[in-house]
Amino acid sequence: MSLEDVDLESLLDKDDLIGDFNEVFSSPYYLAHSTLSLNKAYVLNVDLNCDGTKYCASFSNRHVNVYTESLTTLCKLEPHEKSITQTSFSKTDPQLLFTSSSDCTIKLWDLRCSEKASREFKDTSDHTKHEGPPRNPEKPILCFDTSRDSRVVCAGTEQVGQDAYLLFWDMRAGPLMGGYWESHEDDITCIKFHPEKNDSMASGSTDGLVNVFDLNEGKEDDALLTCHNTEDSVSSLHWFSKKNNLRYLGIATHTESIQLWDTDDYQPYQTIARSDVCHSIRRTVPEHSYIVGMHDQEEQGFLVLAGSRYSLDPCLRLTTLKNKKLKPCGDLKDGKVGGGIVRCSAQLPSYSGFITGSEGGVVAVWRTGDQPAVQQITETFKIKNKISKRDNPY
């Protein structure tokens, strides 16, 4: 019998602990604030601005909310007529926000005057220059990132014809600078600029490839430094340090595994299977385990936020990568917040916690340390329905 024939809810997932829970998950976290979308829309992604004073969340109903640190709503945007695929703040200006959509555009918003987008980035190339259908191809944008100085915007598209496109714009100018279309053959799911190098960038795709580019080179063939074949579908990327060298990539896949790559090599030096992720959060059924996100930590390596989607006893926990293994670190749980599977996360400044978004429409802020004796939790609406199915947003 295959896994597809098994009712996952019949697979009882529970904690698998040896020793005291608080000793195993020794880094304390508490729920500082939470809020719920009125219209039951699920959260696509969350982010915070470069000075940590504003948060944002995009929703499946094409709305974007901008919040204060306590999740008080500052403004609401409806930036696109089609589904939103990503929302991210500028890395250098705390008032600027980018949104992307399957309508083939990225828009830049100045939150000081958010009635209208201050700039729009779209593909202005000849749509007829491609191989294969469709006849009138547009390039729906699935993901994007900006360089460390926020001057270059790069977007990844769905497969169009036989190719998927990386499109580039100069934020100051607006018109398309150019694109790459020979490095990926399927939907581009993630783009990550190097945290320290403006001209270094990695891209991942459902074709299983992760490509690292040097954007100083003019031609795509010259710009492509290394091509890493994960033999899986790539979900997300994270640059991290090892031996004080920031050239390593953590690659999360749609099969809920993580591969560790040295970008100078052509094969992973470590693969962390879904069963390893399950063990690291001390659960018993790997089929229920899933990866929310990868984040920085003060030491070498990185943090992984992961959980169990088992509806009768879900969890959200933090693990740390040390010596090629994931080890339990913290537990993010509060009985006052439900809301379905957590699908996205962003890290607060100075490693002080996380903001998360769930399929139930809950946006939550988690802080490090013990919960204060007196604390106000922002719960805008009571959760009436829990969403347990984890679908792709597009």
CA angle 376, 378, 379 (to 5 degrees): 130
- Higher model confidence: residue 10 or residue 66? 66
CA angle 370, 372, 374 (to 5 degrees): 160
Q: Rounded to two decimals, what is the model's pTM?
A: 0.90
Do the beta carbons of residue 285 and residue 13 sit within 8 Å? yes
Instruction: Please state the rounded mean pLDDT for residues 307-318.
Output: 94
1 domain residue, yes or no: no
* Banded model confidence at residue 390, pLDDT cuts 50, 70, 90: very low
pLDDT at 131: 56
Cα dihedral across residues 225, 198, 86, 35: positive or negative = positive
Q: Rounded mean pLDDT of the chain?
A: 89
377 domain residue, yes or no: no
Do the beta carbons of residue 79 and residue 66 sit within 8 Å? no
**Both tokens of residue 186?**
């399927």
- Residue owning tokens 């947003």: 393
Which of 162-166, 252-256, 305-309, 321-325 has the least mean pLDDT? 321-325
**Both tokens of residue 240?**
């991290």
144 domain residue, yes or no: yes
Q: What range defines the domain where residue 281 resides?
A: 15-368
How many structural domains is the chain composed of?
A: 1
Do the beta carbons of residue 284 and residue 273 sit within 8 Å? no
388 domain residue, yes or no: no
Do the beta carbons of residue 374 and residue 358 sit within 8 Å? no
* Banded model confidence at residue 11, pLDDT cuts 50, 70, 90: confident
- Higher model confidence: residue 96 or residue 218? 96
26 domain residue, yes or no: yes
Q: What values do phi and psi take at 237, rounded to 5?
A: -130, 150
* Banded model confidence at residue 124, pLDDT cuts 50, 70, 90: confident
Per residue in 140-169, pLDDT tens? 999 999 999 999 999 999 999 889 999 999
pLDDT at 40: 78
Asked whether the predicted pLDDT for residue 39 surpasses 90, the reply is no
* Banded model confidence at residue 30, pLDDT cuts 50, 70, 90: very high
pLDDT at 138: 86
317 domain residue, yes or no: yes
4 domain residue, yes or no: no
Asked whether the predicted pLDDT for residue 367 surpasses 60, the reply is yes
Which of 16-25, 192-201, 204-213, 224-233 has the least mean pLDDT? 16-25
Asked whether the predicted pLDDT for residue 379 surpasses 90, the reply is no
Alpha carbon 201 to its chain's center: 16
Do the beta carbons of residue 96 and residue 108 sit within 8 Å? yes
CA angle 251, 165, 247 (to 5 degrees): 30
Per residue in 316-342, pLDDT tens? 999 999 888 899 999 998 766 667 899
253 domain residue, yes or no: yes
* Banded model confidence at residue 383, pLDDT cuts 50, 70, 90: very low
* Banded model confidence at residue 4, pLDDT cuts 50, 70, 90: low
Q: What values do phi and psi take at 291, rounded to 5?
A: -100, 130
* Banded model confidence at residue 204, pLDDT cuts 50, 70, 90: very high
The CATH number for 291's domain is: 2.130.10.10
pLDDT at 129: 56
* Banded model confidence at residue 89, pLDDT cuts 50, 70, 90: very high
pLDDT at 150: 94
